[in-house]
Structure 1
Amino acid sequence: MSEFSRVDRLKNEERETPIVKDKKPSKPKKKRKTFKRIILVLLALLIIFAVFSIYKLFSLSDDIHAPLNRETSSYRNSPVSHLSGYPISVVIFGVDSDSERGLAGGERSDAIMLLSINPKKKTTMMVSIPRDTRTEIVGYGTVEKINHAYAYGGPDMAVDTVENFMGAPVDHYVAMNMDSVKLLIDSVGGVKVKSNGTFTVKGIEFVEGETYHMDGDTALKFIRSRYEEGSGGDNGRQERQQLVLESLATKMLSPSGLLHMNTVFDTLGDNVKTDLSSREISLMALRYYGAKNNIEKYQLEGEDVVLEDGLWYFIPNTESFYDIQSKYLENLELQ
């Protein structure tokens, strides 16, 4: 057989040999339908959750909204724009509210914390002001403990007094019944906090550096401790307030915290007052969320003294005060 005949025969065999392509197994229609149903259910749940959140937020706004008697801070030329995401200053008052006036006034603020929140830098500065700090009570005409301002004139007088003391704007306030901290912590299933000291309070022992999962009752005892040996007095208590507040805020904004949203909203409605509207709360949640991951905590340094009136006062150290004030204004981009 010639070479050409052999080549022709091989070509003919190649043509006659069928080429079989591997076929990928098609997904069963039943599985595809099940997957689509799951997606639809998840989308429906997401829509229901969003609608419910909006409804609860606006309902909550009616319960907690208590505007200040002013248009803007006297330390601002104009109100800050939440839509543009400008740095803002917020003061939190922790009030043991047993009076008939409730959070409107009549009780002293047990805890005072200032927050400057910068969404551009994604930084938050938290400053604790000792409740016994001696300062002018703006609008009352006296010089006494700063925590008296809330009792005398509610949020308006307390905000004006804190602004005057700090020499910095306070754009918004949040007043919270201290007992609500216990309820909020329980509503989100507890919080994890690392102890800043070794001490025992009401039968509960804490060891410095150890992390504890606290329910509301335990956390409140942890916060309020100041006389127990090893608790660190007022400075230790202020630091514990910061630690618990930070942990609570983180838990409330976590996926597990959102699952308890209904209980959280109900608790807030009964125990919180703020000048923020529902729209502002929504915008701030979006614009300022990133700043929660970088929180710097500060406490004023100074000394406790007994003055001629026989009362204990906290007198801030001048150098420490101006250093913290400068950093606070810097985070607000006002310096």
Structure 2
Amino acid sequence: MKSKQWIRKHKWVWISALILLLAALLFIPIYEAYQSISDPLAERQSNLREEALQLEKKEPFSVLLLGVDDDGEVRRNAGTIMVLTVNPAVQSIKLLHIPRETRVDIPGQDQPDKLNHAYKTGGVELMMETVEEFVDVPIDYFVKINMEGVEDVVDAMGGITVENEKAFSYEGYHFRKGRISLDGKQALAYIRMRQLNENGEEERHERQQKVIEEVIRKGADLQSLTHYDKIATALMNNVKTNFTIKEMFQIKKHFQAALQHLDSINMQGSAKKINGVYYDVIDDSEIKKISEILQKHLDY
């Protein structure tokens, strides 16, 4: 395990998922869509909130974004873990990337464990509780996507276009320098490549940022999305959430401007071997700093 090498794969999918959930519901039968993506945790209220969240009053909210590789009904570890906070007053989003192997206290366990094990042990609910305690901010909602469906989401948008800084080949694809168009499979290969040189991980992060910006730009411009049936199918087959239909429309009404202003946050830590197991260890001072940023953004 390399120090400070964080899991960033597919982070762009979550922003598009939130936006496209709203778009899809406008153009497909609402009951069918909601039955496909809804989860029984819809009534959950964060333990850190004394009063229920009211989106109709434009109150800031948070979302846990999970990328999983479930096999049918069998839960596996969560490979991508992020916290997204949305504040309509300042019209912005903050997106925190948490390394999946971060050493944390998991409710109900006697010893610290890797964060991604919380999902395998107790599903989304335990994952929300664990992250909530770790960053000390309320977690109001979740969006979970099966990573096998990432290609479908990008393809449903009709592909994306990015500016590529360096030509390279990977997984059978050649990416020339300059502005290039990517379909779902190509987008995955584009952000996975990290072995160009000693700065491979940093350059991969930059490519991911480009993809994020393009997906947000295209996803937020609902008028540019023409394949609504494909978008709906991609989401219904691969996404689960505890947003209600009413909440989705409230977000579209009050929060869409914020969805176009994204600020990414990365936790700084190091890889350490503890009792024979490697973890990503985040110092208390770093956790406190991140918590204060998110708390301020949530007006919490």
One-letter identity of the residue aligned with 2:32: S
Q: What stretches of structure 1 of length at least 5 have no aligned partner?
A: 1-49
Work out whether residues 198 and 230 of structure 1, in 8 Å CA contact, stay in contact via their aligned partners in 2.
Answer: no
- Rate the CA distance shift 1:165–1:232 in 2: closer, same or farther, 3 A: farther
SS at match of 2:270: strand
Q: Render the CA deviation track for 1:193-227: whole Å, top value 9, x for unaligned.
A: 4568887533546689x654321112222344456
C-alpha separation between the residues in 1 aligned to 2:296 and 2:67?
A: 26
Q: Deviations over 1:238-268 (max 9, x none)?
A: 6655653453243233245431111111111
Per-residue deviation, 1:278: 1.4
Count of residues in Structure 1 that have an aligned counterpart in Structure 2: 278
Contact 1:128–1:238 at 8 Å: present in 2 too?
Answer: no
Question: Residues 1-335 of structure 1: matches in 2 within 5 Å?
Answer: 53=26, 55-68=28-41, 71-97=44-70, 99-101=71-73, 106-194=75-163, 201-204=170-173, 212-226=180-194, 229-230=197-198, 232-233=200-201, 243-309=210-276, 311-334=277-300
SS of residue matched to 1:92: strand
- Aligned-pair identity (%): 28
Shift of 1:187: 0.9
RMSD of the TM alignment (CA)? 2.9
1:139–1:157: 8 Å Cα contact kept in structure 2?
A: no
Partners in 1 of 2:184 and 2:198 — Cα distance?
22
The alpha carbon displacement at 1:180 in A equals 1.6
**Cα offset for 1:283?**
1.1
Please state how far the C-alpha of 1:118 moved relative to its aligned partner. Answer: 0.3
Task: For 1:195 and 1:315, locate their aligned partners in 2 and report how far apart those are by CA, in whole Å.
Answer: 33
Q: Whole-Å Cα distance in 2 between the matches of residues 168 and 73 of structure 1? A: 9
Note closer, same or farther for the CA distance 1:153–1:238 as it changes in structure 2 (3 Å cut). Answer: farther
Q: CA deviation at 1:285?
A: 1.3
* Structure 1 counterpart SS, 2:271: strand
Q: Deviations 1:100-151 (Å, cap 9, x if unpaired)? A: 315xxx1111111111100111011011001111111223444111111111
CA–CA separation in structure 1 for the residues paired with 2:39 and 2:92:
27
SS of the residue 1:314 aligns to: strand
Contact kept? 2:42, 2:244, Cα under 8 Å: no
- Structure 2 CA distance, aligned partners of 1:232 and 1:330? 34
The 1:258–1:322 alpha-carbon spacing in structure 2 relative to 1, beyond 3 Å, is: same
Deviations 1:256-309 (A, max 9, x none): 543111111111111111011111111111111010222111111111122222
Q: Secondary structure at the match of 2:292?
A: helix
Instruction: Give the superposition deviation at 1:323.
Output: 2.1
Change over 3 Å in CA distance of 1:168–1:214 after alignment to 2: same
Matched to 2:125, the amino acid is D
Contact 1:130–1:238 (Cα < 8 Å) also in 2 = no
1:91 Cα deviation after fit = 1.1
TM norm structure 2:
0.81
Structure 1 residues 251 and 179 mapped into 2: Cα distance closer, same or farther (>3 Å)? farther
Paired with 2:126 and 2:207, the residues of 1 have a C-alpha distance of 26
**1:56 Cα deviation (Å)?**
2.9
SS at match of 2:64: strand
> 1:125·1:328 contact (CA, 8 Å) conserved in 2?
yes
**What corresponds to 2:6 in structure 1?**
none
For 1:239 and 1:112, how far apart are their aligned partners in 2? 19
Bigger Rg, structure 1 or 2: 1
> Match of 1:289, SS?
coil
SS at 1:276 equivalent: coil
Structure 2 residue runs without a partner (length 5+) = 1-22
